[in-house]
Amino acid sequence: MGDWSSTYNAPALREVGVWEVAVVGTWVVLGAVTFQTPLLAPPFYFQFLRMRYALSASTRAAFLRVRGFLDATLTPPSASANVPGVVTDTYIRVRDFLVNIGDAITGPEQQQQRQQRQ
């Protein structure tokens, strides 16, 4: 059992992190917009995600994986010609807004580490 869990624990946590960031967040927002979930669900969920982002390196890695996928799908030069410019512009604005929030959460020392890696 120990060998099995040590083999699959890290990949499973990576996938759960991406699911937590991309799928559940989208589901909560769409549920609130269509009145299937309470309107207070998105603020509570995003506060939860904010705390996870601040405290968990795996959650930050999940955000990076989701961002990489969305950048490759929605931004030039790798974006399809069928993606409207409005979608790309809106995505870039929302992405930059969320990056600024993430920078405010993580603090200056992690910002410096990220800038050194780039």
Q: Which residues have C-beta within 8 Å of that of residue 73, sequence separation ≥ 6?
A: 79, 80, 83
Number of Cβ within 10 Å of residue 13's Cβ equals 15
pTM of the model: 0.77
Q: Which residues have C-beta within 8 Å of that of residue 50, sequence separation ≥ 6?
A: 101, 105
The structure tokens 């603090």 sit at 107
pLDDT in tens, 38-96: 999 999 999 999 888 888 888 889 999 999 999 999 988 888 888 888 999 999 999 99
